[in-house]
């Protein structure tokens, strides 16, 4: 058994030595260098490139027009909402004046309203907001 083991180890050492000696020290590069050559554009390539640039410019112009239209619509909607809100506040002025005239300043609601109205320039504006939220 020992004899067989020593033979296998000897064979392994021989093969290893033969492999190391036959192995090249520098890797060989068998790949050929690829060179890219730029061919001048043909007339059809120039035409296609110009056509693509024109299409891209048209798309960008249309996108800008759509964005501008949306912005204008948003601005108009905001103005419409502000006008509607002003109209609603105007309609609440008379009821707010009547409510203020009837309000007892010493009642719990009157005391609460006095405190509520402190952050407003005048009591009528506070009364309009109060009536608007409670309507």
Q: What is the Cα–Cα distance from 89 to 110, expressed in whole angstroms?
A: 21
Q: What is the Cα–Cα distance from 95 to 130, expressed in whole angstroms?
A: 11
Average pLDDT over all residues of the chain: 84
pLDDT tens, residue by residue, 39-60: 666 778 888 999 999 999 999 9
Phi then psi for 40, rounded to 5 degrees? -65, 145
Question: Percent of the chain scored above 90 by pLDDT?
Answer: 60
pLDDT tens, residue by residue, 62-95: 999 999 999 999 999 999 999 999 999 999 999 9
Which among 100, 87, 88 has a CA at the least distance from the CA of 126? 100
Contacts of 88 (CB under 8 A, 6+ apart): 132
At 42 the pLDDT is 79
- Is residue 20 scored above 90 in pLDDT? no
Considering just the CA atoms, what is the radius of gyration of the chain in Å? 45
Q: What is the Cα–Cα distance from 14 to 16, expressed in whole angstroms?
A: 5
Q: What is the Cα–Cα distance from 20 to 27, expressed in whole angstroms?
A: 14
At 38 the pLDDT is 62
Contacts of 120 (CB under 8 A, 6+ apart): 126, 129
- Is residue 27 scored above 60 in pLDDT? no
């Amino acid at each position: 058994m020992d004899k067989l083991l020593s033979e296998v180890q000897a064979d392994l050492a021989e093969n290893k030595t033969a492999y190391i000696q036959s192995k090249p020290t520098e890797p060989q590069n068998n790949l050929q260098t690829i060179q890219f050559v730029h061919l001048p554009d043909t007339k059809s390539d120039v035409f296609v490139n110009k056509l693509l640039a024109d299409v891209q410019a048209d798309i960008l112009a249309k996108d800008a027009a759509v964005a501008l239209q949306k912005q204008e619509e948003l601005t108009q909607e905001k103005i419409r909402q502000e006008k509607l809100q002003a109209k609603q506040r105007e309609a609440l002025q008379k009821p707010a004046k009547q409510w203020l005239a009837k309000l007892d300043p010493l009642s719990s609601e009157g005391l609460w309203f006095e405190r509520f109205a402190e952050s407003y320039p005048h009591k009528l504006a506070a009364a309009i907001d109060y009536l608007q939220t409670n309507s």
